[in-house]
Amino acid sequence: MANPIIYTGTPGPISGSTPFGFYDTDTQFKADGPKIANYCALKLGYPVLEVELQDTNFYAAFEDAVSIYAEEVYQSKIKDNYLTLEGSKTTTQLNNIVVSPNLANVVNISSTYGAQAGVGGFVNWRTGSLALTQSIQQYDLQAWAITQGMAATDKVVIQRVMYTAPPAQNQYYDPYIGGSLNYQGTVDNFGWGSYSPGVNYMLFPVFYDIQRVQQIEMSNYVRRAHATFEIIGKDLRIMPVPESDGMVLWLQYCFQSDIMSLTGNSPYDGNTDLIANPSLAPYGNITYTQINQPGKQWIREYTAASAMEMLGNVRGKYSQVPVPGAEVTLNGSDLVSRAQAMQTSLREKLRQDLDDMTRKAQLERKQSENQSLNDTLGNIPMQIFVG
């Protein structure tokens, strides 16, 4: 069995020695590489103990730690800003850009609901006419929609039926027009006498007009036959029954395929290169030089933990080393378990730190500070002013 290669304490340059070369051109990364290798070796017991790793192993762990740090930081930013990022262009690098929250996607969501109420949205309503037939009260809207160009496998969604009585305002009658009350002279003095329709004017409260409208509607509903309809499933029922041919009913409608379309029912129809999922958020490799001291300390500790895991795997392969007259058992499994626990702990700590810095956490913290400040100020005696 060949003896494992032992770390010599003189690491070579890191540039060109990492698996991916993500940061090999970064001046600070190149300067820190050999220092990190010696740092990890010393943490693992060198030179008191032999460390069965090479500088390339330490460099791989170093590059991996920087990438993991960037992953945690950027994933936190993506989660904090995803509602703002979704639908924006993927061409703008976001590494060092402050993302300001906006309401674009909230408005888009509300507009989608508004389409059903006819007050917005991205689905175009269609219009069509349905000719009523004498003595026929019920009409198949699905069959009618097929004649309007709808596919037989599709479904029609009726938005509005233009079959209602005239509004009460059209029937409004002002009893004071032409009546015995004459205010024409006063009105003329203010220059209002030439306006139509009334020749006499009296200013009434607005509630008076509202009550008159309600009274007219109730009178028509109780004393007169009124037009109405009901839609059950795909069938439209007209009331009262049409008494002659030739009456035309206007409908506003859309097709279910319009509502369910992922592209047509969207403000992004026809646009490409948009953020459609978190993996498309344009965050690139982090710039190692710009990472602050707490971040670099985390990277150093995570690199040491990764190096410990690699050493444990190596010693697990060479679990027993023969020496003169005996065999030495290495602590490979112990190193692996400790290293994995350290990596998990470091990741959890970083995630907690990042969670504490989210917009929601910061607002909650500020709210708590304001409440504490108000409580403190409330306990300060107020001075009595003597004039």
Give tens-digit pLDDT for 44-58: 999 998 899 999 999
pLDDT grade for 333, boundaries at 50, 70 and 90:
confident
Q: What are phi and psi of 328, to 5 degrees?
A: -105, 130
- With a cut of 90, say whether residue 303 has pLDDT above it: yes
Q: Partners of 239 in the beta sheet?
A: 228
Rounded Cα distance between 212 and 202, Å, is 15
- Asked if pLDDT for residue 232 goes beyond 60, the answer is yes
Nearest partner of 350 among 281, 284, 308, 301, judged by Cα: 301
Nearest to 49, CA basis, from 325, 321, 343, 341:
321
Q: Is the pLDDT of residue 331 over 80?
A: no
Total residues found in the chain within this entry: 387
Residue 62 has pLDDT above 80, yes or no: yes
CB atoms within 10 A of CB 342: 17
φ, ψ (nearest 5 deg) of residue 238:
-100, 135
Task: For residue range 18-35, list pLDDT tens digits in order.
Answer: 999 999 999 999 999 999
Q: Is the pLDDT of residue 176 over 50?
A: no
151 versus 197: which is more confidently predicted? 151
Q: Give the other-Cβ count within 10 Å of 156's Cβ.
A: 21
Tell me the pLDDT tens digit for each residue of 177-231: 444 344 444 445 445 555 555 555 566 787 877 888 888 778 877 777 677 889 9
Eight-class DSSP state of 168: G
User: pTM higher than 0.75 for the full model?
Assistant: no
pLDDT in tens, 98-144: 998 888 888 888 887 777 777 777 888 899 999 999 999 999 999 99
User: SS3 string of 85-127?
Assistant: HCCCECCCCCCCCCCCCCCHHHHHHHHHHHHHHCCCCCCCCEE
Taking the CA of residue 111 as centre, how many other CA atoms within 13 Å lie in the half-sphere pointing to its CB?
A: 14
Q: Which residue has the higher pLDDT, 167 or 255?
A: 255
